[in-house]
Amino acid sequence: MIEKQDILTGEKVRLVPIDAERDSILFSLWHRNSEYSRLLDSDPARQFSSIATKKWIEENELAHDFVSFGIQSIEDGTILGDIGLGDFSGQFTNTFVGLGIGDPQYWGKGYGSDAMRIILRYAFEILNFHRVSLTVFEYNTRAIRSYEKCGFQHEGRLREFLSREGRRWDLLFMGITRYEWQDAFQKMENA
């Protein structure tokens, strides 16, 4: 028998389905902040209308090669970001995780780390992945620290990958295997 357990709830946040109607407005709003866009993506920072965002969300509902969630504060129910797993079409070996906390008032307070721990548990315990990967720009030091805290290992850096503000920046690769996650999870349980 399986113990009843709320896999998608952490200490500060829970992961909930993305609601096209509600979240498209939030996603558009978050992208007005160029700092957010530039932390998240190597594509040029730009704006998305909520109608275009809603259409994109609806077109990708029930997709089989990625899964995404809204990050909801347990305290007040606010949707403060989104997180998802992708690039696993055909095989459940490796997946890339992407995470964005859209509302800057929630930056640096542990919400992202909590969401990351939840999605790792989901990736390993429900979807049976062997490892989870991510890429992060070298200037996003807050995110790098958070990923290290969640158990991600540094696996290399692509030199001078990104061109922004008149200089080039490295793209860092990080990953966590099932074994590393199990070790980290057991330590957390025993603490």
Partner 1 sequence: MMKYPLFETENCLLTEIDYEKDLETDSLFTQDLRYARYWCKGIVKPLSKNEMKKTYEKLEKKADESRNKFHFAVRSKVDSQLIGYARFDWVFWNDQCGEIKVAIGHPEYLGKVEQELIEKLTYYGFHELNLHRIDCYISQFEEELDLSLKKVGYLREAIFREAEFFNNKYWDRYVYGILRPSWSQKLEA
Q: Which chain residues interact with partner 1 by CB under 8 A?
A: 42-44, 65, 89-91, 93-94, 130-131, 133, 153, 155-163, 168, 173, 175, 177
CB of 66 to partner 1, least distance (A): 12
- What single DSSP character describes residue 4? P
Which one, 32 or 168, has the nearer CB to partner 1?
168
Comparing CB distances to partner 1, the nearer of 53 and 95 is 95
Between the alpha carbon of residue 75 and those of residues 16, 96, 180, the distances in Å are 14, 28, 30
* CA pseudo-torsion sign 150, 24, 45, 159: positive
Nearer to partner 1, 24 or 95 (CB): 95
CB of 100 to partner 1, least distance (A): 19
Least spacing, CB of residue 84 vs partner 1, in Å: 18
Give me the helices (H) in the chain, please: 20-30, 34-40, 50-60, 111-121, 141-149, 178-190
Nearer to partner 1 among residue 101 and residue 143 (C-beta): 143
CB of residue 134 to partner 1, shortest distance in Å:
11
Query: Cβ closer to partner 1: 51 or 63?
Result: 63
User: How far lies 35's CA from each of 90, 101, 127, 136, in Å?
Assistant: 34, 12, 32, 14
Minimal distance in Å, beta carbon 108 to partner 1? 27
Work out the number of other CB atoms within 10 angstroms of the CB of residue 189. 7
β-strand partners of 132: 95, 176
